[in-house]
Amino acid sequence: MNTTAGGIDLHTHSTASDGALTPTELVHAASDNGVETLALTDHDTTGGLAEAKGAAAAHGIRLVPGVEISVTWQRRTLHIVGLAFDSDSSGLNTGLARLQLQRRTRAETIAAKLEKTGVADALEKAERLANGGQITRAHFARLLIDAGLCRTMAQCFKRYLKPGKPAYASVEWAGLTEAIGWIHDAGGLAVLAHPLGYGMSAAWRDRMHAAFSQTGGDAVEVCCGASSPERLQTSVHAALKYGLLGSAGTDFHSPAQRWLRLGRLPRMPETVTPIWTHARFAAG
């Protein structure tokens, strides 16, 4: 496999969580964009993988099993992407089942809070939008837009769904050690997702990379869908400092995200070892 991120996208979403495309549609779109190796990484679920695998086989694309696990670390939420694992692993599936229950309970809490601010039938609406997939805050954002209460997703989070806002419900997600353990027990690799996406200061980011590496994490997302050369260098520096491999993923959710396209990623800098050269990944 090559050392550039060309034809590779290791962070994407489908209707199994908050993506707009079904796993089949996602694979079609990836294929149209020249993606040869695709990981589907839905929030706390592997529910879309079987369908994606079938569609990928039909397109001659390599589908890497993936998941994006919600983690609570130092009272902050982090996202740890698991890649190239055995999706039959009971440890991983038991862990994800717990997070899915927590998502359900949180959805009920968010809906109750929204009702208090005057939004009717929020749970039913979110369920309808999720259509059997995991309910996320993105679904609540969509119903707020549909109700004419906000114009953009960003506005929904800023006004209603972020910590400190009226419809925020805090959750103690998986522990960092726990999530990495589930991924490793299933034979996979653990990736720290979008390290610049948590609104952290440089000092906190450094602590996060250190903790992730010390806990046995394997890689950090160096190449992201919306990265500038400066942002990329920040993550290159962290990968080298903490001996982490580099991963590459757009975090694609929907064709409506006009600023990113499936598989369109910067090249992995030569100083960083790409995750896709790892033996476990190559075998996965």
Q: Is 18 in the site for Mn ion (CB under 5 A)?
A: yes
Q: Count CA atoms within 13 Å of residue 8 on its CB side.
A: 22
Residue type, 127: E
| Closer to Mn ion by Cβ: residue 161 or 193 | 193
137 binds, among ligand AMP, Mn ion, none (CB under 5 to 8 A by kind): ligand AMP
Q: Give me the residue whose beta carbon is nearest to Mn ion.
A: 79
Q: Is 157 in the site for ligand AMP (CB under 6 A)?
A: yes
Q: Shortest gap between Cβ of 86 and Mn ion (angstroms)?
A: 21
Q: Which of 58, 112, 154, 210 binds ligand AMP (CB under 6 A)?
A: 154
Closest CA to 11 of 252, 272, 219: 252
The stretch near Mn ion (CB under 5 A) out of 15-23, 154-162, 231-239, 270-278 is: 15-23
Closest CA to 192 of 210, 166, 165: 210
| Closer to ligand AMP by Cβ: residue 80 or 153 | 153
Q: Which of 251, 261, 262, 263 binds Mn ion (CB under 5 A)?
A: 251
Name the strands in the sheet holding 189-192, side by side, starting at the edge strand that comes first in the sequence.
Answer: 8-9, 37-40, 62-73, 76-83, 189-192, 219-224, 245-249
Q: Shortest gap between Cβ of 170 and ligand AMP (angstroms)?
A: 10
The stretch near ligand AMP (CB under 6 A) out of 34-42, 124-132, 152-160, 231-239 is: 152-160
Q: How far apart are the C-alpha atoms of 246 and 238, rounded to whole Å?
A: 10
According to CB under 5 A, which residues from 58 to 87 bind Mn ion? Answer: 68, 79
According to CB under 6 A, which residues from 51 to 110 bind ligand AMP? Answer: 70
| Alpha-carbon distances, residue 223 vs 54, 103, 226, 238, 267 (angstroms) | 27, 29, 9, 13, 7
Which residue shows structure tokens 């309910």? Answer: 135
Q: Which of 43, 142, 209, 261 binds ligand AMP (CB under 6 A)?
A: 43
| Closer to ligand AMP by Cβ: residue 31 or 227 | 227
218 binds, among ligand AMP, Mn ion, none (CB under 5 to 8 A by kind): none
The alpha carbon dihedral of 37, 44, 97, 25 has a sign of: negative
Paired tokens of 75: 């009272």
Q: How far apart are the C-alpha atoms of 51 and 37, rounded to whole Å?
A: 16
Q: Is 184 in the site for ligand AMP (CB under 6 A)?
A: no
Q: How far apart are the C-alpha atoms of 144 and 139, rounded to whole Å?
A: 9
Q: Which stretches of the chain bind Mn ion, using CB under 5 A?
A: 18, 68, 79, 193, 251
Binding site for ligand AMP (CB under 6 A): 18, 43, 70, 136-138, 153-154, 157, 253
